[in-house]
């Protein structure tokens, strides 16, 4: 970069490792004792880099956490180790990304993304512990009402581990992920 006729000429690359240079403006102010040259760069973040280094790895980690919901209930240790390891890797990735970003007083969208991913994997881990303490099979409990002429028999359904796991992996988690992604990406498109 050099000064020529009160303007700045940038001779470097327009594409930096994390940003693209969009616009360069300059303003020269001359006083009797000194001159001030003010240069302003407009930078745009490279989204392809963010997708490759943040979003794809976190989606893959969420996939690993989600897959643990399909492991047999008898394999609690495998499910627990996989989700805890996934949680630790996700937290490490969050720390690495956060250290590369400037400190701000507000919550950034990338923080929201990571908080959601970490919370979801934590919820999967809690679900594994909960399912471990639920009965594995449904006990048939029959309720009979003796005070009526017609004997009424009704079956009471107990919540079981397999039923809870099936409901969470087929209904709850996909809905939560879909709603979050819808709100998250619509917000990014509206702001950006």
pLDDT over 70 percentage in the chain: 82
Q: Across the chain, how many H-helices and E-strands are there?
A: 6, 6
Does one domain contain both 40 and 62? no
Q: Which residues constitute the domain of residue 159?
A: 47-191
43 vs 22: CA distance, rounded Å: 6
As beta bridge partners, residue 25 has 40
pLDDT surpassing 60 at residue 2 = no
pLDDT over 90 percentage in the chain: 35
pLDDT surpassing 80 at residue 93 = yes
Does one domain contain both 184 and 93? yes
Structure tokens at 27: 């303003």
40 in Cβ contact with 26 (< 8 Å)? yes
Does one domain contain both 77 and 155? yes
Does one domain contain both 10 and 70? no
Which domain CATH number covers 66?
Answer: 1.20.58.390
Does one domain contain both 37 and 99? no
Does one domain contain both 29 and 56? no
Instruction: Provide the pLDDT for residue 8.
Output: 72
Instruction: Provide the pLDDT for residue 27.
Output: 81
Average pLDDT over residues 59-88: 92
Does one domain contain both 41 and 88? no
Does one domain contain both 90 and 8? no
pLDDT surpassing 90 at residue 114 = yes
Give the DSSP letter string of 43-98: EEE-HHHHIIIIIHHHHHHHHHHHHGGGS-TT-HHHHHHHHHHHHHHHHHHHHHHH
pLDDT surpassing 60 at residue 38 = yes
Does one domain contain both 111 and 161? yes
Instruction: Provide the pLDDT for residue 131.
Output: 83
Identify which has the larger pLDDT, 170 or 147.
170
Domain boundary pick from 45, 60, 78: 45
Identify which has the larger pLDDT, 164 or 128.
128
Does one domain contain both 19 and 29? yes
Q: At what angle do helices 56-67 and 109-133 cross, to 10 degrees?
A: 10
Torsion sign, CA atoms 76, 77, 80, 82: negative
R_g over Cα of the chain: 28
pLDDT surpassing 60 at residue 153 = no
Average pLDDT over residues 144-148: 60
- Residue 157 binned pLDDT confidence (cut-offs 50, 70, 90): low
Does one domain contain both 41 and 51? no
Lowest mean pLDDT among 62-76, 130-144, 163-177: 130-144
How many structural domains does the chain have? 2
Identify which has the larger pLDDT, 74 or 185.
185
Does one domain contain both 68 and 127? yes
pLDDT digits (tens, 9 = 90+) for 21-34: 888 888 888 777 88
Q: What is the mean pLDDT of the chain?
A: 83
């Amino acid at each position: 970069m050099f000064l020529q006729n009160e303007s700045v000429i940038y001779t470097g690359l327009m594409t930096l490792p994390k940003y693209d240079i969009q616009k360069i403006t300059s303003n020269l102010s001359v006083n009797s004792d000194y001159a001030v040259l003010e240069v302003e760069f407009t930078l745009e973040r490279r989204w392809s880099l963010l997708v490759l280094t943040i979003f794809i790895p976190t989606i893959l980690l969420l996939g690993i956490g989600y897959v643990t919901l399909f492991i047999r209930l008898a394999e609690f240790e495998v499910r627990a180790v996989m989700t805890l390891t996934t949680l630790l890797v996700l937290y490490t990735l969050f720390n690495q990304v956060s250290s590369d970003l400037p400190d701000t007083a507000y919550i950034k969208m990338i923080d929201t993304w990571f908080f959601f991913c970490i919370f979801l994997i934590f919820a999967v881990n809690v679900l594994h512990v909960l399912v471990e303490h639920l009965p594995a099979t449904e006990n048939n409990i029959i309720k009979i009402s003796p005070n009526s002429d017609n004997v009424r028999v009704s079956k009471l359904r107990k919540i079981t581990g397999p039923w809870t796991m099936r409901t969470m992996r087929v209904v709850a988690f996909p809905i939560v992920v879909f709603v979050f992604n819808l709100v998250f990406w619509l917000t990014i498109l509206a702001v950006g």
